[in-house]
C-alpha cells in the first residue's frame, strides 16, 4: 500500500468522541469510531496498523477506490487554476465538459443540466423543478407520489418523499409536506412479472393525478430503504402511467448511476427515460460532494417562461470547478475501462461466494445485482458488535437493520472480494449459533 500520510499522524479519538457528531450516532452513547490515516486502492489504513478491505466504496461513491493517480492529478491541475468560482453570471470549461458528457450518456431527452453540491440537494432541486413546472402552466399540483421503503435523502423535501412509516425520518413526519405513498414493488428483479403489481398505483393516479406534480422513485434498486431489487417491468409501467395521467417522473439514480447495477443507469434495465434525473455519489469517484439534476427541454423551457422567468435555486458551490474537473477525470476513467466486464465479474463472484449464506439459520435471503451483494437476516444486527467482528476480520462493511451488504469499488481484486465474502459468511455463521 502506498501510504502517503505520515505514520506519525494521530487522530484525537477523545476529542472526536466528545465533540464530533457522526452520522446516525448518539452523542451520549456513541458506537466506536475507527481512526483512518490513509487509504489506497481498496484498502483503508487504520491508525492501529490494520488494513481493511473496503466493501462500501465510501457509501457507494468510490468507483475506483482511493488515492487514484488520475483523479489526484485532475484535482491538482485544477487547483492551480481555481478551486471555486461563483456560477452566477460566470462559467468555466470543466462545467461545460461535464454537462456535455452527462447529456451524452444519460437516457434520451435529458439535455438540461443543473449542478448542485450533494445528492439530497439534487432531489430538492428535482422536487422544486416539478412544482415550478406545473406552477408555470397554471396548475396547482402540490403533491408527490413515492414508493414505500424508498429513501431520497436527509433534507426536508427529500424526507417528505421518503417512507414515513418506520423509516429513519419517522421523527419528522409532523413537520414535512404530506405526500402520497404507494406500496413497495413486490415482484423481484428475477421473478415472473404480473400486471396486478400496478393496481394500487394505477388507482391512486386515477383518483389523485390532478394534485400530483411528480412520482419519484429509485429505479430498480431501493437502497437505504432495504436494498430491494424490483422488476424492470414495474419501471416500464410507471413511465406509461405517468404519461397517461400527466404526472412527471423523477428517477433518483444517486446510488445506482454510473454502472453499479450492470447498466450505466438503472433506468436502462427498463429502457425508459424520466422527466427529471438525479445523480450524485459516484459522479466524482468519491473525491468530493457533488451532484446534478437533469431534465428535458420541455420542463426547463416551461419553467423559464413561467411567472418567475427563472428556476428559483442557486447553491453557493453550484458548478464547483474543482469537483467538475475531478468528475470529468472520473468519468473518463469509467469509459476508458471495461466497466461492464468489471461489474459482471464482481456480480458472478458475489453470486458464487454469498449464495452459501442461504443455508445459515440467521439468513433470510441472499440477492445480487451488478456490483451489489446483499445478505438479508431475519433479525436486525447490533451495529457496534458486528462492526468490530468485521474489523477484526480485516474488512470494512457497515450493515444496517437486517442487512449486511457490500458495494465494492470496481477495481477490487478477486482475493479482496473473497475476503469480504468470507467475512460475511463467518459473521452470519456466528449469528446462526
Residue 202 is placed in which grid cell? 394505477
List all residues 6 or more positions away from 295 whose beta carbon is below 8 Å from its beta carbon.
110, 112, 114, 126, 129, 275, 276, 277
Secondary structure element (H or E) that encloses residue 100, with its range: helix 93-105
The one catalytic residue in 112, 281, 287, 405 is 281
Cβ atoms of residues 380 and 27 within 8 Å: no
- Measured CA to CA, the distance from residue 284 to residue 278 in angstroms comes to 14
The one catalytic residue in 112, 133, 141, 151 is 151
- Measured CA to CA, the distance from residue 282 to residue 116 in angstroms comes to 14
Cβ atoms of residues 370 and 190 within 8 Å: no
The one catalytic residue in 252, 287, 405, 419 is 252
- Measured CA to CA, the distance from residue 155 to residue 116 in angstroms comes to 14
- Measured CA to CA, the distance from residue 52 to residue 123 in angstroms comes to 33
In the DSSP assignment, the letter for residue 396 is E
Cβ atoms of residues 42 and 413 within 8 Å: yes
- Measured CA to CA, the distance from residue 115 to residue 320 in angstroms comes to 9
Residues of the chain by 3-state class (helix, strand, coil), percent to 5: 40, 15, 45
In the DSSP assignment, the letter for residue 148 is T
Residue 245 vs residues 79, 201, 206, 364: alpha-carbon distances, Å? 48, 11, 7, 38
Instruction: Mark whether 151 is an active-site residue.
Output: yes
Instruction: Mark whether 281 is an active-site residue.
Output: yes
The one catalytic residue in 12, 17, 24, 139 is 24
Instruction: Mark whether 208 is an active-site residue.
Output: no
Instruction: Mark whether 174 is an active-site residue.
Output: no
CA atoms within 13 A on the CB side of 52: 28
Provide the annotated active-site residues. 24, 151, 252, 281
Amino acid at each position: 500500500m502506498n501510504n502517503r500520510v505520515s505514520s506519525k499522524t494521530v487522530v484525537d479519538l477523545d476529542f472526536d468522541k466528545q465533540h464530533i457528531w457522526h452520522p446516525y450516532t448518539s452523542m451520549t452513547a456513541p458506537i466506536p469510531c475507527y481512526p483512518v490515516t490513509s487509504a489506497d486502492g481498496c484498502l483503508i489504513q487504520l491508525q492501529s496498523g490494520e488494513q481493511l478491505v473496503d466493501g462500501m466504496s465510501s457509501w457507494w461513491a468510490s468507483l475506483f477506490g482511493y488515492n487514484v493517480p488520475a483523479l489526484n492529478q485532475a484535482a491538482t491541475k485544477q487547483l492551480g487554476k481555481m478551486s471555486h468560482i461563483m456560477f452566477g453570471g460566470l462559467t468555466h470549461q470543466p462545467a461545460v465538459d461535464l454537462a456535455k458528457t452527462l447529456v451524452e450518456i444519460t437516457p434520451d431527452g435529458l439535455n438540461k443540466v443543473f449542478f448542485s453540491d450533494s445528492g439530497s440537494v439534487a432531489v430538492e432541486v428535482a422536487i422544486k423543478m416539478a412544482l415550478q413546472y406545473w406552477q408555470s402552466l397554471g396548475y396547482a399540483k402540490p403533491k408527490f407520489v413515492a414508493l414505500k421503503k424508498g429513501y431520497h435523502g436527509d433534507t426536508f423535501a427529500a424526507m417528505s418523499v421518503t417512507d414515513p412509516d418506520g423509516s429513519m425520518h419517522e421523527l419528522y413526519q409532523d413537520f414535512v409536506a404530506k405526500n402520497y405513498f404507494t406500496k413497495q414493488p413486490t415482484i423481484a428483479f428475477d421473478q415472473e412479472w404480473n400486471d396486478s403489481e400496478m393496481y394500487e398505483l394505477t388507482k391512486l393516479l386515477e383518483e389523485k393525478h390532478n394534485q400530483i406534480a411528480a412520482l419519484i422513485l429509485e429505479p430498480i434498486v431501493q437502497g437505504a430503504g432495504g436494498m430491494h431489487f424490483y422488476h424492470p417491468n414495474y419501471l416500464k409501467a410507471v413511465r406509461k402511467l405517468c404519461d397517461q395521467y400527466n404526472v412527471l417522473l423523477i428517477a433518483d439514480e444517486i446510488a445506482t448511476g454510473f454502472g453499479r447495477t450492470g447498466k450505466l443507469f438503472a433506468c436502462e434495465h427498463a429502457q425508459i427515460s424520466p422527466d427529471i434525473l438525479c445523480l450524485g455519489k459516484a459522479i466524482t469517484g468519491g473525491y468530493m460532494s457533488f451532484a446534478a439534476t437533469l431534465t428535458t427541454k420541455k420542463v426547463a423551457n416551461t419553467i423559464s417562461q413561467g411567472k418567475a422567468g427563472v428556476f428559483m435555486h442557486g447553491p453557493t458551490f453550484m458548478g464547483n470547478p474543482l469537483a467538475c474537473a475531478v468528475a470529468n477525470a472520473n468519468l473518463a476513467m469509467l469509459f476508458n475501462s471495461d466497466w461492464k466486464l468489471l461489474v459482471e465479474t464482481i456480480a458472478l463472484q458475489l453470486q458464487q461466494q454469498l449464495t452459501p449464506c442461504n443455508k445459515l439459520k440467521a439468513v433470510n435471503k441472499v440477492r445480487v445485482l451488478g456490483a451489489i451483494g446483499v445478505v438479508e437476516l431475519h433479525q436486525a444486527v447490533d451495529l457496534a458488535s458486528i462492526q468490530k467482528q468485521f474489523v477484526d476480520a480485516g474488512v470494512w462493511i457497515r450493515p444496517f437493520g437486517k442487512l449486511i451488504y457490500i458495494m465494492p469499488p470496481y477495481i477490487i481484486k478477486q482475493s479482496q472480494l473473497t475476503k469480504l465474502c468470507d467475512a460475511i459468511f463467518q459473521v452470519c455463521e456466528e449469528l446462526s449459533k
